[in-house]
Chain A
Amino acid sequence: QVHLQESGPGLLKPSQTLSLTCSVSGASISSGGYYWNWVRQLPGKGLEWIGYIYYTGNTYYNPSLKSRVIVSEDTSKSQFSLKLSSVTAADTAIYYCARAAADYGNAIDVWGRGTTVTVSS
C-alpha cells in the first residue's frame, strides 16, 4: 500500500521560505507513470494545485505560483520536496503531497494526510 507523509515547519514568518518534504513508502518515485504533486487548501476554501515532479526530473507548476515554487526529489531517500519562497499570510494553508497515476488519467489517486502551515509575524 502506498503511503505519503508530509513533514516540515508549521509556522513561518512573512518573507521566509516554506520547505516541506514528502516521504513515500510502498512505491518508487523513480518509476514511470506517476507524478508527485503538491496541493494546498486555503482555510475554509477549495483546493489549489501547486505543481509536480515526474520521475525524469521534469517539473510542471501552477502559473500563478511558478515564480516562487521549486519541487525537487531525492530518490535515494524516496522523498520529494516543496520550496515556496517569499511567503505571506495568503500562503497559510493545509499542504498535501499526492501521487497522480497515468493509469488513472493522471488523476490523484493517493494523498498524504496534509500538514498545516501558518504564516504569521
Chain B
Amino acid sequence: DIQMTQSPSSLSASVGDRVTITCRASQSISSSLNWYQQKPGEAPTLLIFAASRLHIGVPSRFSGSGFGTDFTLTIKSLQAEDFGTYYCQQNYGPWTFGHGTKVEVK
C-alpha cells in the first residue's frame, strides 16, 4: 500500500492567516493527489484534484501544489468557515487517505 503522511495533525490559526498542510507519499504518485475538507457530521467535499486543480465552486484562496511524493495544500487567507479536517488522498495505486489535519479557527 502507498502510505500517506499528513502534517501537522492539527493546527489553530486566526482569520486571515496563511495555512499550509503537507502530505507525503511513501512512493512517487505523480500528480495523483486530491484534497478534501470534512466538517463535523458531514461527508467530505472535494477541494483540489490532480494535485493543483481547483474543483468547481471552491474559493480561490485554496491552492494545491506538488508532484511525486511531496504535496501541499495552502489556504491563502483563512476564513471562519474553513474549520474542519482536511484529508489528502492518492489514487495512483489502491486508493489511500492521509490521517487528516484538523484546522481550528481562533
Contacts and interface: CB of A to CB of B under 8 A. Distances in A.
Interface of A: 45-49, 60-64, 96, 98, 100, 104-109, 111-114
Q: Nearest 4 CB-CB pairs, A to B?
A: A111-B43, A107-B49, A105-B50, A49-B95
Contacts of B43: 96, 98, 111-114
B87 A46 contact: yes
B25 to A, nearest CB: 15
A47 B94 CA distance: 14
A30 B99 CA distance: 33
Contacts of B96: 49
Contact of A111 (B45, B53, B87, B99): B45
A60 B93 CA distance: 10
A105 B47 CA distance: 12
B91 interface: yes
A48 B3 CA distance: 12
Interface in B92-106: 94-100
A106 B91 contact: yes
